[in-house]
Amino acid sequence: MARLVAVSISEKKGMRKTNVDEVVLEADSGIKGDAHAGPWHRQVSLLAQESIEKMRSMGLDVKAGDFAENLTTEGIDLVSLPIGTKMRLGESVMVEVTQIGKVCHERCAIYYQAGDCVMPKEGIFVRVLTGGRLVPGDTISVLEY
């Protein structure tokens, strides 16, 4: 079963995020207290733990949140989800996939701190349809494509 392994926030964009015990998502905004929150299509970012493990196998000392992802997942192939896919996170949060990967026009602090960045290729972005609280261990269910 797919689940969240970490929830993370940062005060500035383009920086590693700090793992926290819980986050609160607000509809049409994102994660309360996170730099990416706002009325746009990339409110919350997700990256698979499997992608982070790939970087660790290359010798990098990285962990959840180091690639500026808000939600680190396990057991779900994020990049295979088409745009428009709706997912339930935890008990009540509903999100919709809005973007797969991203273009990095210049290397950000994450690249220089981690030595590489998997987020442009393997991260996804969602907008929040229904808010709620999320903690590590919450389940992820794909509802519709």
Bridge partners (DSSP) listed for residue 139: 3
Print the domain residue range for 123.
3-144
What CATH number is associated with residue 7?
Answer: 2.40.33.20
Does pTM surpass 0.85?
yes
CA 102 to chain centre: 13
Q: Note the pLDDT tens digit of each residue in 28-83.
A: 999 999 999 999 999 999 999 999 998 888 777 889 998 889 999 999 999 999 99
Domains held by the chain: number: 1
Closest-CA residue to 23 (of 38, 12, 35, 33) = 33
N- to C-terminal Cα distance for the chain?
18
60's tokens: 């990098």
Q: Does 111 have pLDDT greater than 70?
A: no
Amino acid 104: pLDDT = 63
Q: How far apart are CA 24 and CA 61, in angstroms?
A: 28
Which residues are registered as beta bridge partners of 140? 89
